[in-house]
Amino acid sequence: MDHAVLLQKILVVSFIVALFWKIIRYMCNLLNVEKEPVRVLVTGAAGQIGYAIVPMIARGVMLGPDQPVILHLLDIEPAAEALNGVKMELIDAAFPLLKGVIATTDPIEACMGVNIAVMVGGFPRKEGMERKDVMSKNVSIYKAQASALEKHAAEDCKVLVIANPANTNALILKEFAPSIPEKNITCLTRLDHNRALGQISESLDVQVSDVKNVIIWGNHSSTQYPDVNHATVQTSSGEKPVRELVSDDKWLNAEFITTVQQRGAAVIKARKLSSALSAASAACDHMRDWVLGTPEGTWVSMGVYSDGSYGIQPGLIYSFPVTCEKGKWSIVQGLKIDEFSRAKMDATAKELVEEKSLAYSCLN
């Protein structure tokens, strides 16, 4: 073979290798293309929970470490200066995933094009106020915000209501935002779920990550039912039922339940302020699992629109065990409900029916 032919072959092979690596680099760049930012609304953003949750969202705790976000922060006019301070701190933190911050007191501007709405803002119950007075204030707030979301949010907007009474505020929002699918409106009971996991973890002296499948049934209130009948703990010899490991039905059916039900009040008593850090973290857990999916074999608790499962009146926003996949939640079906559980589930449903009636009387 003469040198000219050999040189020609070497050049051809070199060209093919160079082209191959160019294609590989191109494919890698395609895979690494930055995602489009997700627009996340946080109402009551200058408050305690708002202040705790916005850096979590900006850091990727809610939607993942590769998901850019644009934060839409809404609060009332008297909190405008504090809200601007929150915006300043977000800018100063230089979060790589944070692609923009809108801080406003205008619900229309705040809701424009949002993909996720975290409804933290609400009217808190003050000393001497009747339940109906608080309900009336929150009905007004959620009616107005529902209208803004209805007209200006993205079509697929996912809504999480945190402000109390969370279940009924979510129901009011659903009433006045009829174009948002009922499956896209939820309320936060993940905080109660996480509290239940924490209590089991402490009782058994195990890692909280090894405990799964507790359930919060019903209302985010002192009538909620924390249920461990289907919960398990990962041990060195495999998964074991919580009831078997705790081996104290009296504690599980009494003190455990009341501790979880009244944990919010205990936090207020201890720090003279309501839960903020844990509520913000739970909200991120709720939304992350909803958007990215729950692990195989694991369910979580979410306040969702009842379809009649487990004999719960359709049309209530009630906390059920759910699994999530591809951005959609499904109620876990076929769980055995004993007599004790049935009574607790019905009691919390009864309270929600009463709240719904009270809310509708405020509308009228």
Question: What order do you get walking across the sheet with 328-331 strand by strand?
Answer: 98-104, 69-74, 38-43, 116-119, 158-161, 185-187, 300-305, 317-325, 328-331
48 belongs to an annotated ligand binding site: yes
Query: In whole angstroms, what is the distance from residue 79 CA to residue 322 CA?
Result: 36
163 belongs to an annotated ligand binding site: yes
Counting Cα atoms < 13 Å in the Cβ hemisphere of 177 gives 32
Which of 193, 220, 230, 286 is catalytic? The answer is: 220
44 belongs to an annotated ligand binding site: yes
303 belongs to an annotated ligand binding site: no
Q: Are 283 and 160 in contact (CB under 8 A)?
A: yes
49 belongs to an annotated ligand binding site: yes
Read off the tokens for 168: 């009924």
46 belongs to an annotated ligand binding site: yes
Query: Each residue of 283-298: b (16+ CB within 10 Å) or e?
Result: bbbbbbbbbeebeeee
162 belongs to an annotated ligand binding site: yes
238 belongs to an annotated ligand binding site: no
50 belongs to an annotated ligand binding site: yes
Read off the tokens for 287: 């939304």
243 belongs to an annotated ligand binding site: no
Q: Are 275 and 50 in contact (CB under 8 A)?
A: no
152 carries an active-site annotation: no
Q: Are 156 and 290 in contact (CB under 8 A)?
A: no
Query: In whole angstroms, what is the distance from residue 186 CA to residue 216 CA?
Result: 14
Query: In whole angstroms, what is the distance from residue 323 CA to residue 308 CA?
Result: 17
315 belongs to an annotated ligand binding site: no
195 belongs to an annotated ligand binding site: yes
| Binding region for substrate | 125, 131, 164, 195
Residue numbering of the annotated binding site for NAD(+):
44-50, 75, 138, 162-164
Q: List binding-site positions.
A: 44-50, 75, 125, 131, 138, 162-164, 195
Q: Enumerate the active-site residues.
A: 220
